[in-house]
Structure 1
Amino acid sequence: MTRIAVLGSTNMDLVAYVHRAPRRGETVTGREFRTVPGGKGANQAVAAARAGGKVSMIGAVGSDDFGARLRAALADAGIDTALLRTTDGRSGTAHIVVDDEGGNAIVVVPGANAAVTSLTPEDEALIATADSLLLQLELPLSAVIAGAEAAHRHGVRTILTPAPAQCLPPELLASTDLLIPNEHEAVELTGVADPHAAAAELLRSVPEVVITLGSAGCLYAARGAQPVTVPTRRVRAVDTTAAGDTFTGALAVALGEGRPVADALAWASSAAALSVQRPGASSSMPYRPEIDAL
């Protein structure tokens, strides 16, 4: 069983479902509201655990009721939460509007996540025992860089999702093995609209890139190799909130198991296709038998 460490955010998602998202200054009536455990770090942890990985979570929750619920949800998913800190104050929240086309708009309030600014010795020791470290950008950048550098020192594959998109410092890129932006993040990082050209630009900084392309699948590129485009199954999307996190968590498991890259990408794409057909973030993520069946 592949071992995956996740250094990332844990949020409670406050999700409103609407016919269409409101324009600026407009009020619309929603048809449903849910609170769902989320955060890009926790989402990727749950996705990897359900896909068959042995997962440990490094991050923080608050001392509020959301914090207790978030910790319990991770534990229920079989994730080791020994290094998930509890800080005084509020947990992180994500305020999400989902329309009838499955599209979303999100406002993240970091809460306890902002307290994770560095690694403890215990954090680094855990990372050193992993096969892969999953990173995102919802924690302070200092912690993300420290995590990537620790993984690099110990020969652990570092997988970075550059979201929310921002300028990536050279020291972070130097310790990143696989970068997984979506098509919009790739444009923000490179200024290039064409995914193949954007991937070529990103390969100047990292050895491997996967650009997720929504319903068009994904593009894989590596130094010294021909790019590979992997299509995804056409489905009716209900909620795309955690599709990228589902893809990344499943891909980390597949790569950790030694699958060929094309097979790993197709398997992860199947996981994402299943997730968008269900509402919610972590609640939408498929289990390994479902992915295998698809």
Structure 2
Amino acid sequence: MGNVTEDHTFAVDRLPRAGETRLARSHRTELGGKGLNQALILARADIATRLVAPIGRDAPGRAARAMVAAEIPGATLIETDAPTDRSIITVAEGGENSILSTAAAARSMTPAAAVAALADLSPGDTVLLQGNLTRPTTRSVLELARARRAATVANPSPIEWDWTPLWPLLDLVFVNAPELAHLSGARDTTGGCRALLDLGLRELVVTLGADGALAASREGTVSVSAIAVEPVDTAGAGDTFCGAYLAATLRGRSPEAALGIAASAAALTVGRPGTHGAFPDRTELSACFGDQVASS
């Protein structure tokens, strides 16, 4: 359950400074949003996936409906009076990016509407959320999942409110290093992981850019190195990592194996421009999984 956006990506030689206007080398428009992105990776990894997301009654909303029908059958796209959310992504040479997004459509999802959309949630299901929904809606979904004995996963980005009361309701959380520091108040990765685990979180996956990634729980910590790749555009790489890691764990892989699979999938995204256009397809994800994922 999350958001859908229309992404406008501008390629520049370097990111603009405060007050500066720069000319872009190119511009591309495609669908994105952390909710749609992560659902797409899960579906391409042959995980039975259902996306619940609000969209506007506009051209981007219609485009999202067509894409979802082709790749994520059975999705619930809820029309709202707000326009479909949009993101402006500026990508510099070397892959560094900055992203500015709207969230009126995502925040229009009320707790009642969210709970109603998950009426068939069952034991053994997994609910994945991001930071685009409101805190009351997020809490309602997590409480419903706990009551239905479903697993709970979150990627709390963008961070717009305090997640501290929700850690005990979550089984798995994905963050990058700056997000971990913001959420935990700790200056180092080890201290940040310990702080969130002590507050009731069960497992935490931290992406560390060129330093790789780690998975931490009360049982210990495992890590993998980053895969060497010439970065073209890092936008969407975190969503690829999240979806691939979750798919791997749902298929019974260990945290260490899941980290390796997710790192391989994210490296493919980093090496290409755009978001959806850069995501690995089913065949490429199959290779990341060691041919354990069907390529159909």
Q: Normalising to structure 2: TM-score of the pair? A: 0.91
Amino acid at match of 1:240: T
Q: Is 1:244 matched with 2:229?
A: no
Q: 1:68-107 maps to which residues of 2 (within 5 A)?
A: 68-81=62-75, 83-107=76-100
- Give the superposition deviation at 1:17: 0.8
Residue 213 of structure 1, aligned match among 180, 203, 208: 208
- Give the superposition deviation at 1:116: 0.4
Deviation digits for residues 187-218 of structure 1 (CA, Å, limit 9, x no counterpart): 11112231112111111120111111112111
- Give the superposition deviation at 1:176: 0.5
- Give the superposition deviation at 1:129: 6.1
Q: Is 1:195 matched with 2:189?
A: yes
Partner of 1:175: 169
Question: Does structure 2 retain, via aligned residues, the 8 Å contact 1:13–1:35?
Answer: yes
Partner of 1:47: 41
- Give the superposition deviation at 1:130: 5.8
Residue 269 of structure 1, aligned match among 263, 267, 289: 263
Counterpart CA distance in 1 for 2:36 and 2:73 is 10
Amino acid at match of 1:102: G
Deviation digits for residues 151-184 of structure 1 (CA, Å, limit 9, x no counterpart): 1112211111111124434442221101111111
Partner of 2:291: none
| Counterparts in 2 of 1:227 and 1:79: CA distance versus 1, 3 Å | same
RMSD: 1.6
- Give the superposition deviation at 1:262: 0.9
Residue 259 of structure 1, aligned match among 235, 249, 253: 253
| Counterparts in 2 of 1:197 and 1:185: CA distance versus 1, 3 Å | same
| Counterparts in 2 of 1:217 and 1:103: CA distance versus 1, 3 Å | same
Amino acid at match of 1:142: P
Residue 286 of structure 1, aligned match among 266, 272, 280: 280
Counterpart CA distance in 1 for 2:252 and 2:134 is 32
Amino acid at match of 2:94: E
Moved segments of 4+, more than 6 Å? none
- Give the superposition deviation at 1:126: 3.6
Q: Is 1:118 matched with 2:98?
A: no
3-state SS of 1:248 partner: helix
Counterpart CA distance in 1 for 2:40 and 2:148 is 24
Q: Normalising to structure 1: TM-score of the pair? A: 0.92
What is the aligned residue count?
Answer: 286
Question: Does structure 1 retain, via aligned residues, the 8 Å contact 2:106–2:132?
Answer: yes
Partner of 1:186: 180
| Counterparts in 2 of 1:236 and 1:189: CA distance versus 1, 3 Å | same
- The answer to which of 150-159 and 99-108 deviates more is 150-159
- Give the superposition deviation at 1:11: 0.7
- Give the superposition deviation at 1:79: 3.9
Question: Does structure 2 retain, via aligned residues, the 8 Å contact 1:18–1:97?
Answer: yes
Counterpart CA distance in 1 for 2:11 and 2:79 is 30
3-state SS of 1:180 partner: strand
Counterpart CA distance in 1 for 2:257 and 2:173 is 18
3-state SS of 2:105 partner: helix
Counterpart CA distance in 1 for 2:97 and 2:187 is 22
| Counterparts in 2 of 1:127 and 1:101: CA distance versus 1, 3 Å | farther
| Counterparts in 2 of 1:66 and 1:21: CA distance versus 1, 3 Å | same
Question: Does structure 1 retain, via aligned residues, the 8 Å contact 2:163–2:183?
Answer: no
- Give the superposition deviation at 1:45: 0.6
| Counterparts in 2 of 1:231 and 1:66: CA distance versus 1, 3 Å | same
Amino acid at match of 2:217: A
- Give the superposition deviation at 1:16: 0.8
Counterpart CA distance in 1 for 2:110 and 2:211 is 36
Q: Is 1:159 matched with 2:162?
A: no
3-state SS of 1:26 partner: coil
Partner of 2:294: none
Counterpart CA distance in 2 for 1:279 and 1:129 is 39
Partner of 2:11: 17
Partner of 2:293: none
Counterpart CA distance in 2 for 1:259 and 1:155 is 21
